[in-house]
Amino acid sequence: LHFEEDLNITHMYSAEGEEIELFRTIYPTGNVEDWLLDVEKVMKESVKDNIERSLKTYPETARTEWVLIWPGQVVIAGCQTFWTMEVSEALQTGDLGSRLFPKLSSQDDLRVCAVNAEFLYGYEYLGNTGRLVITPLTDRCYLTLTGALHLKFGGAPAGPAGTGKTETTKDLGKALAIQTVVFNCSDQLDFLAMGKFLKGLASSGAWACFDEFNRIDIEVLSVVAQQITTIQKAQEQRALFRPVAMMVPDYAMIAEISLYSFGFSNAKVLAKKITTTFKLSSEQLSSQDHYDFGMRAVKTVISAAGNLKRENPVMDEVLTLMQQCSGHKVI
């Protein structure tokens, strides 16, 4: 937050240093718990106001200019709104539209629809953070999770390490601009701590991602199930987590789009090279614990290459990437 000399709060900053002017200034008086709530309210109003104004100017401004004017989160929300609008318009020219998108009314709040589930955009300010590549697997995970949430269930993505379970869950929270708390569970977690956590969630309306749920002791888990049943009973729903199997992430697509986002123009070919290199290495090198050819390793190489590209934009793209691959501990 930015405080003026007289303590008036005028701007907010993201972790990346993005600045947003607040919709109205606030003066912190009284207890910190109270004025922080006010800050939260103004944060949401400001994001909402930015999105509304950006949507108005979108049709009149060149897209290349428009994306640079507005905060990152606003750009993503705005692009998705227009994309949805244009696709549904195109569908409505056929009769498909009436079945797929029955209602796309122009309400005040931004609404996010996923098949039959409908959510209000949360207007939580997220800063200018990176977002995931939407692959068919991410899409499937989103659809299952939103479908489950619509019925007031939870979701439980399961699968091997590094397939994007945690990140996809967090990314869905970002897509809806809803505060998402990621909690790393361990066998130290007891039902009292969990109870407190759930109380906090219920009163703030935030989402939670209980990462590594499998680590919780089975005895504690049974009480947790009870606690969740109680909460869901309050909403007259049954307790259930809907499973999503996440087996193999779409390496090539994630690599390609991540490379494009770092400014590589030959991303398609490069992505193929890098995924093939990783695939061959994992198949042909002896299996040793310190080898890692998962998605995390691919991401590490790509972000390192991306940083190098930023420092040295004219360097040959293949060289930039190869330098990172060879720097990676195994190749």
Ligand X SMILES: Nc1ncnc2c1ncn2[C@@H]1O[C@H](COP(=O)(O)OP(=O)(O)OP(=O)(O)O)[C@@H](O)[C@H]1O
> Are the CB atoms for 275 and 254 separated by under 8 Å?
no
Q: How far apart are CA 255 and CA 259, in angstroms?
A: 6
Distance set, CA 98 to CA 88, 90, 118 (Å): 9, 11, 17
Q: Which of these ranges, 42-50, 160-168, 286-294, 322-330, lies near Mg ion under the rule CB under 5 A?
A: 160-168
68 or 161: CB nearest ligand X: 161
Query: Is the CB of residue 148 less than 8 Å from the CB of residue 116?
Result: no
Q: Are 54 and 70 in contact (CB under 8 A)?
A: yes
Q: Which does 110 bind (CB under 5 to 8 A by kind): Mg ion, ligand X, none?
A: none
Under rule CB under 5 A, residue 227 binds Mg ion:
no
Positions touching ligand X (CB under 6 A) are: 132-133, 135, 138, 161-167, 249, 254, 295-296, 299
Tokens of 232: 């869901």
Which is nearer to Mg ion, 81 or 168 (by Cβ)? 168
Inter-residue long-range contacts of 48-53, CB under 8 Å, 24+ positions, other chains counted:
48/23, 48/109, 48/110, 48/123, 49/23, 50/20, 50/74, 51/77, 51/78, 51/110, 51/121, 51/123
- Smaller CB distance to Mg ion: residue 166 or 266? 166
Minimum CB–partner distance for residue 155 and ligand X (Å): 13
**Residue 299 interface partner, choices ligand X, Mg ion, none, CB cut-off 5-8 Å depending on type:** ligand X
Smallest gap from residue 186 Cβ to Mg ion (A): 13
**Which of 61, 166, 281, 300 is close enough to bind Mg ion by CB under 5 A?**
166
281 binds Mg ion per the rule CB under 5 A: no
Partner whose binding site includes residue 256, from Mg ion, ligand X, none (CB under 5 to 8 Å by kind): none
The SS3 of residue 72 is helix
- Kindly state the smallest distance separating residue 292's Cβ from ligand X, in Å: 11
Q: How far is the CB of 94 from ligand X (least distance, A)?
A: 31
Q: Reduced to 3 states, what is the DSSP secondary structure of residue 327?
A: helix
| Partner whose binding site includes residue 81, from ligand X, Mg ion, none (CB under 5 to 8 Å by kind) | none
Question: Which of ligand X, Mg ion, none does residue 78 bind to, with CB < 5 to 8 Å depending on kind?
Answer: none
Residue 266 in contact with Mg ion, rule: CB under 5 A: no
Can you tell me which residue has the tokens 């995924």? 275
The answer for residues whose C-beta is within 8 angstroms of residue 300's C-beta and 6 or more apart is: 328
We find the least distance from the C-beta atom of residue 130 to ligand X, in angstroms, to be 8
Nearest to 162 by CA among 19, 16, 12, 292: 292
Tell the smallest beta-carbon distance from residue 260 to ligand X (Å): 12
